[in-house]
Each structure stands twice: as C-alpha cells, then as structure tokens.
Amino acid sequence: MPAVAKLPDATPDPADGPEPSATPRRRRRAGDSRAIEHQKLAFLRLVSHELRTPLNSILGFSEILSAELYGPLGAPQYKEYADIIRGSGKKLLNLVNQVLEIGRLEGLELDRAPEALEPAFDDAVAGADFVRGVTPVVIADGELPLVLADPWGLRTVLTHLLQNAAQFSPDEGEVRMRAETHGAYVDIFVEDDGEGVDPADLPRLMQPFEQGENALVRRTEGAGLGLAICELTCQAMGARLQLTSAPGRGLSARVRLKAAPRV
C-alpha cells in the first residue's frame, strides 16, 4: 500500500503569535461598514426632509384641482390627471416618511408599560389599508392578555404587519391576527394565505432597503421598508419579531412581548 503523505498541521503555533494585521483589518472593515451605513442614513434623512416641502405643495394643489375648488377644469382628462398626481404624491410622501422612520428608530429605546391588546388590535385594523376585498379577522378566545409595550410602537408594528399581509393575500382573502400566552411571554401572530416566500429570503426582507428576488417584494410598489420598521421598532421596545414562510403557504409573523400582570 503506497504511503500517504501527511500534510502539515494548519493550526498556527500559539508561540508564533496571531497573524499580522488579521484582527485589525477585520475591525477596520467593520468600522468602515458602520460609518458608511451612518452616512447613508444621514443622507437619506436630509433628502427626505427636503422632499417633504415640495411634496406638500404637490399634494395640496393637486387636491384643489381634483376637487375643482375654483371652478370646472374643462376637459375631463384634467381631473383624471390631477387625481394621478395626487395619488403618486401620496405614495412618494409615504416612502419619505418611512425613510425618516428608519433613521429615527436606529438606536432608539422605547418605554414599556402594561398595554391592552384589544384597543391595539382595533387601532391597527383601522390604520391598515385592506385592498382587493381582503378582510382582517381577529381570533380571540376570551379576554386578550396584557403586554409590556410602548403604545405607539405596538400599534406601528401591528399596522405594518397587517398592511404587509393584506398586500400579499389573495383577492377576497383574509388576514388573521391572534395572541397566545406562553408563560412570561405573549406571542402575537399575523398570518396570511398568500404565495409565501423562500425561507432563505426571510432575513433579508427585514433589512432596510433590501429587495429579494421573489414574488413577495416584486408584486407591490415601494422600497420594502415596512418589515424593517417592524424589526427596528420591536428591538426598540424589547420585543422579538420572527417570520416563517414557505412557497405556497403564506407568511406568518410572530411578535413576542413580555406579559404584563393584570391589576
């Protein structure tokens, strides 16, 4: 049997010390990445603030034209075009507000206090836009538990999750919202029956300004910031957001919060 040559051990001898500049280089790269991200967010905040003033003018004057406040416009196409301008302006303003929200949530800590889920669920349903006949359904078996959360943060997360679920639900479908108590924690679920997404894409969908190559992000307009806002808001109030999905099985979002004792 021929002899097999033994390769030298690749593990460095501790006496030789660490590889020169390996650790500092990694640290420099991490620091450069954080600096670039900070500059990007600062630039986006500045641009977003500058965009809001002209957008308010566009929305205000297009609404006046659409309502024909100072008299008829003449050809019916003018009113149609004014409606298109107003709708496009509202979409752009929504994007600007989301960019500002991303910048505001970086490193933010929210105060937490006992919060009832019933009014939070109601406010989230009222704040979300359900299109194509999609119906929100709150599943509750008795009284919903209390949670430790920031009122604004809780409603922001639930509204964005409902909005996201409604966008990717089938026509005339439903979006379900429910809560379960597990010891010291309460899990809030928002589920839809849409096309679902590859589980490998889920972490990327919660990152700001990321677009995946799948139906979940290609079907609708916008920069895909809703889930990123949910993730940052959950971090700010000590909650945890987890997404689960599979192609053809819809998307389920779980928000885990600490339970609050009832007085």
Question: What does the pLDDT look like over 56-92, one tens digit per residue?
Answer: 889 999 999 988 888 888 888 998 999 999 989 888 8
Q: Is 134 helix (H, G, I), strand (E, B) or coil?
A: coil
**Would you give the distance in Å from CA 17 to the centre of its chain?**
45
Burial of residue 223 (CB within 10 Å: 0-12, 13-18, 19+) is: middle
pLDDT, position 174? 93
Structure confidence at residue 107 (pLDDT)? 72
Architecture category of domain 113-258 in CATH: 2-Layer Sandwich (3.30)
By the 8 A CB rule, do 164 and 132 touch? no
Quick one: which of 171, 165, 168, 170 has its CA closest to 136?
Answer: 165
**pLDDT score, position 8:** 41
pTM of the model: 0.69
Q: Is the dihedral of CA 99, 189, 192, 122 positive or negative?
A: negative
Domain boundaries, the chain: 22-105, 113-258
Per-residue pLDDT, 240 = 95
Looking at residue 15, its pLDDT comes to 45
Residue 97: the pLDDT is 81
d(CA 177, CA 191) in angstroms, rounded, equals 7
Q: Which of 151, 150, 133, 243 is nearest to 189 (CA)?
A: 243
- Residues 201-213 have a mean pLDDT of 69
